[in-house]
Amino acid sequence: MAKHYSSAQEAEDAFYDAIDDRDLDSMMGVWEDSDEIACLLPMQPLAQGRNQLMQTWKALLEGDFSLEIQVHHIRWLESGDFALHYCQEVAKVGGQTQPQPPVYATNLYRKGPDGWHLILHQNSPAPPPPGMVPPGMQMPQ
């Protein structure tokens, strides 16, 4: 069941806290109670609706490894009942000292009668560092 969040930022903090705490109930409380919600994680199929999202997050949060994610906010766009947050996530897996390569996250929130909730979380790889662009690929300047 969705919890009440008074801002998109409060919902986002709860989302990343649920990952850190490996708490499926808290994770599902961040998401809007709707079949329109979706999550696209690296190397995973698109999860749509509460049942698929619950299965995806249950597998991740109850897995035999831990995740520690540092979130760096890149840009926020908020207008009316929608908020779009672009973040860079840097994860350490299973107590490793070296972080994984960063990924970019797009988090879309919607304000409804029960407050702000997540409706889309999508990850994609961050661009390679300067000088590491594959041959034939042009990076915008």
Closest CA to 37 of 16, 21, 51: 51
Whole-number pLDDT of residue 136:
60
Whole-number pLDDT of residue 1:
65
CA 84 to each of CA 23, 61, 94, 111, 129: distance values in angstroms, whole numbers, following the listed order: 24, 24, 30, 12, 25
Whole-number pLDDT of residue 43:
83
**Domains delineated in the chain:** 8-125 (3.10.450.50)
Q: What is the dihedral of CA 134, 135, 137, 141, to 10 degrees?
A: 90
Whole-number pLDDT of residue 135:
62
Whole-number pLDDT of residue 123:
93
| DSSP assignment letter at 138 | P
Q: What is the mean pLDDT of residues 91-120?
A: 90
pTM of the full predicted structure? 0.86
26-77 per-position pLDDT tens digit: 999 999 999 999 999 988 899 999 999 999 999 989 988 778 889 999 999 9
